[in-house]
Amino acid sequence: QSAITCFKQVLKTYRLDQWDRCHFWRLFRLAFCQRTTAEPTEYLKTLVSCFSPRITSVAPEKALIALQDDLERVLAHPVVGEARYGKLSFIETSMSVSDTSSTESMFGQGQNRKKMMKKFCSVGESVQIVLSIKSYLPKPVEFGSAKLFIVAFGEFASILENNGSIEEEDAFKVLSVESPVRITPGENKFTFTWTPSSSGQYILSTVEIVWHHGYFYYDSTELPVPLLGIDVLPSEPTHSISLNPTCLVPGHDQEVVITFDAGSDVVTTGRLVMDCTKGVSLIPPGEDPATSEWKKECDVEFQPCKPGEKQELRAHVRCGMIE
């Protein structure tokens, strides 16, 4: 314990004075002392500090590999999962949104003010979000998951005003990288496609990385880059509905096809209301004309539609003779 205390005292001096090579070797000795005596969470703090970009540039690769092996063993200990951790110094994340218009604004007040880059798109327009994860570790690793939390602006501001943390249940939308997430040394890029179905203001708030039992959160307010927001604007509707045939023959029963075309819209709900004029009656879509009764009106729900999708509804219509 006395050796551990001594190492911790000198490490701070070496780090502040940027004696990176000496700093690493003292960290390595501290890790050697802690690996059989310290609690997993305490040893984790030391191991995490061994892979910062400055240290990995001067440390021997064999030593870093040995430390990484220990790091993964510690992260596999169940006690590690009992806490919420911030970002890792040796895993950097960044985000970008492509092919949309943008502008800049400020978020927050006083010293907490932070620049925010806003991107704009319309409802139903697909947005490409690129998540970049840069690793300074000497060997590839596999994360259990990597998720991006998109949070509605009002919810985001409310949580920060109350000094809270963004959790998955706060998100309006969660985008996930397919598991397992393999990360190689250097930069790794993953692309999400998000098609907003409603207008509003949203913040690309938090990246959650799950590594064995460890949960690590990259909150955008704590990163040295502007916040990234997406303003989803109402779009001009492009959906349409058509009827075939458009004319009824008196004295005949006919099948009428109602076609709903979503166009480029995302249609979440809709209703078809058919009301017959005098002398006309119908059997609603989905009912058997051999057994059903003729009616003067019907009300049918459309199924949700994605852009480019169509729905067909078939009704039987009887037009009486015109006097």
pLDDT digits (tens, 9 = 90+) for 255-267: 999 999 988 777 8
Higher pLDDT, 197 or 273: 273
What pLDDT is recorded for position 49? Answer: 86
pLDDT band of 135, cuts 50, 70, 90: very high
What pLDDT is recorded for position 205? Answer: 94
3-state SS class at 233: strand
Tell me the β-bridge partners of 98: 128
Higher pLDDT, 63 or 99: 63
Are the C-beta atoms of residues 26 and 58 closer than 8 Å to each other?
A: no
Higher pLDDT, 49 or 186: 186
Mean pLDDT, the chain, integer? 87
Does residue 109 surpass a pLDDT of 70?
A: no
Are the C-beta atoms of residues 245 and 275 closer than 8 Å to each other?
A: no
> Cβ of 299: how many Cβ atoms within 10 Å?
10
Are the C-beta atoms of residues 33 and 3 closer than 8 Å to each other?
A: yes
State the burial class of residue 133 (Cβ atoms within 10 Å of its Cβ: 0-12, 13-18, 19+).
buried
Q: Give the best-scoring range by mean pLDDT among 3-7, 119-123, 165-169, 267-271.
A: 165-169
Higher pLDDT, 206 or 109: 206
Does residue 108 surpass a pLDDT of 60?
A: no
pTM of the model: 0.71
